[in-house]
Structure 1
Amino acid sequence: MAMHTHSSSPLVINIARLSRQPGSMITFHETVPSPSRMGVALMAIEKGAPLELNLRMESVSEGVLVTGTATAPTAGECARCLTAISGDLTIDLTELFAYPDSTTEATTEADEVGRIGASGQPNTIDLEQPIVDAVGLALPFSPLCGPDCQGLCPDCGTPMATAEPGHHHERIDPRWAKLSSMLETDDK
């Protein structure tokens, strides 16, 4: 049974069939397109990527406790050599959404605890921000194509992984450049 609302985000989930009786529970297993790019500068879940949600929504006295996982492919580039890299990321979610008339709703800030109906539609929870936050924390800020990546040649920009063995450039220390030109003159 589809539990989505007519919201613009596939991460706004309708929980109308979940009883407010503490202990009542529903599960949600669905793959939805990521509504936005989620991640850090060099690595992310791209907008539209398949986001597989395996969630359990349970009524508790103050609201709905959502637990489970979200899994999606990631894409980005190595921080050292700029090679395209991809992978899969699974994040664990544990998020409380407060009922509109609960003590929790009345005594917490909006950014501390989610709110049921915060999307403007009653009986919905919006998982986008909790997932964005978890993805940002889980992805490496400086992703690498491999732990031994040597990056790019500082002189010509060739990726060292694909450069010929012994790749280097003759360079004269600028402090000796003047002396070098004097020696060339003497040789002649």
Structure 2
Amino acid sequence: MTGQWSGAGREPVERSTRQLIEDGRARQQALAGVDTVLEQVRGTATDNHQSVRVTVDGRGRLVELWLRQDAVRWGADQLGRLIVLVAEAAVDQATQAAYNRLAPILGDDLTYAVEQLSGRPAPARRDTGGITAEEFQRRRDERLRRADGEVSRRGPVVDDGFDPDDPLSFDLSTLRSDR
């Protein structure tokens, strides 16, 4: 094994040169599959009135535009704006779906690099409804304290099936806000 050093943390990487080359080749093959993923991914959105439906691929290219027969009642300008808004929602859905499919193939770091290079951040990153890892940990600690006998303001603690000591009871990768 070689005592190589990783990035900014300057921590030794205990991997052989052969393993590093194999990892590099695997990432190269994974990157070659990005185009296939982007062609296969679809995002579809419809307005609230069911007048417009737009489907795009992972690159944001229009695959289908459907208009209900009475969509002309909106008028040309308003219908045009509605189509653009629905198309943007479809692109967001396709973009997120593409990142969701790429992350398991490329890994988080390389997927984030693709995200940065594309200029289109993952729509989930724009969502402020998620929680940070720190907030998750705080809530977990609070749950554990309550489970250890402290009285909850909300009533008795309900067993949700989550076992912090069992790694199979919860998939930590689901905590990422960009997936």
Bigger Rg, which one? 1
Larger fraction in helix: 2
TM-score band (shorter)?
under 0.3
Q: Which has the higher contact order (CA 8 A, sep 6+)?
A: 1
Q: What TM-score, normalized by structure 1, do the two folds share?
A: 0.22
Larger fraction in strand: 1
